[in-house]
Structure formats: C-alpha cells, structure tokens
Structure 1
Amino acid sequence: MIKVPLTVVGAELLKAELAHLKSVERPAVIAAIAEARSHGDLSENAEYDAAKEKQGFVEGRIAELEGKLSNSQIIDPKEMADTAEGRIVFAATVVLQDLETEAEVTYQIVGDDEADIKQGKISVSSPIARALIGKYEGDVADVQAPGGIREYEVLEVKYI
C-alpha cells in the first residue's frame, strides 16, 4: 500500500470528519430510512430511495476516510526542522516571490486532501509544489503554469 502523507492538522481534520459521520450522519440516515419504511410501499417511496442513496454516500465516505487514515504517514513540520536543514520538503511553509510581478506569496505544502489555496495550502502533487521540493532559500524554481513558465524565488523556508 502507498502511504498517504498528511500533516498533523490534516489528520486531525479527517479524524473529526470521520467521527462526525459515524456519530451524527450515520444515525440520522438510519432514522430517515426507518421513517421512510413506516410509510409503506417501498417501490414508490422517494423518501426511502433518497435515504438509501445518502446512506451509500455516508458509508462510502466513512470507508474512504478509514482507508486514508490507516494508510497515512503523519508528518509534523516542527520535527522536520532538524532533518530538512532548510530544504523544502512536505509540510514546509515557503515564502516565494514571483520574479515577474514581484508579488510575495506564502504556501504550505500539504497532502491532496488538505489542499486549499484560499488558506495558502497547496497539494504536494501540484506543479508548484513539485517544482519547489528540494529547493533552498535563495533558489529559483521554474513552475510550469497554464500561462507558461513562472519563476519564483524562495525567500524563506519555515517548519511551523
């Protein structure tokens, strides 16, 4: 099995979602199915069909989350500071400067499930993260973007 990299925060979010699905969503769906069954004929019961469909979604998501968590490798960025020695690695936070526009951006490289560009979290499998992995402060990374190649200078690497 392939290990799925997750940050500590990402793992906690997945665990919280799993707990919510098991303790809130699953019992609610079971109650909805019981309620729909009490209405009689199941062959023409839209409520029953909808509840069964939602049950399938909830059970599928529970299985997906359990699989990801059981195959995850949880990485704490604070523990990476000693071993990474200033190199950009998974879970590192980087401050970049676009050499064309001189705009500064800050990103944390996270797992696919944690990625959220609005929060400054980019997937380890994204083009920008792949271009940054292994670089050090002062290095320039060439990133293949839809509009062509963009150059970013690494201003700072943090493990927070």
Structure 2
Amino acid sequence: MGITDFFSDVWETFSYPSPDAEAPPQGGSSTESPASGTDEESDAEKEANKEDAKEEGEGEQGHMPSGGDDEEEEEEEEPQDPKDILEKECAESKACHGPKHHYDECVERVTGQIENDGKASEDCVEEFFHLAHCATQCAAPKLFAQLK
C-alpha cells in the first residue's frame, strides 16, 4: 500500500456519502394508517388506548405511592460532618484570628464599595483561601484524633 492509497482511503473516510447511497423507499403509501412520524392515531389505536386506560386502574402495575399506610418510615437525621464542625470552630478560634480579621475587613470594604458604586474593584478570594487553609490546618489533627 502506497502513500497515495493511504490518502485516498482517508479521503473516502471523511468525505460525504454519495447521494445515491440511500434510495427512497419504493411502493405506495397506505391511507388507513397515519404516516410515520406523525402524532395521529388510527381508529384501532384509539380503541386500544381507551381499553388500556380503563385497565390501568384495575390491577396493580408499577410502583404505587404509599398514601397514609400504617407503616411510616422514620426520617433519619443525617449526621453532621465532624470536619465542618471542627473547621468552623477553628475559624473562630485564636489560632486563625489573623486570617479571619483580614477576611472580615475585606468583606466590609467590598460590601461598602458595592453599596456606594454598585460594583466592587476587588474580591476577597485570597483572604478566604488563607482563612480556609488556616481552619483546615487547625482542624486536621483534631479530626484524625476523633476518627481513630
């Protein structure tokens, strides 16, 4: 196989199919049934659908929602993640006082800018990440001691 064969194979792979590849269906169309792709129902389909609708209410099919059964499921409260609790405590603790102070000042500054100008010239993302890092570093040893 030469380089020309390679390129001709690639061309055939990515080229459009020829228009005569798919011939239109031969034969006549029926006037008794709706054309495919339409939402029309024939008379026989209408009758069958009416019968199906009547039968749906009679037997138990599928999942029936329980409405006021004697057995009520008790809703279990999902336990809180101890990591979140410990990080909140650490963010408020003395260990993270500096990053928390900088973050609070930034929030006040940005809020004031938004109230006065309608937009802020800065955001507090950097201060937030410093606070989050401090809280995570503080909470990690307590968390692992709790999990052991």
TM-score of the pair, normalised by structure 1 = 0.26
Q: Which has the larger radius of gyration?
A: 2
Compare relative contact order (CA 8 Å, sep 6+) and give the higher one, 1 or 2.
1
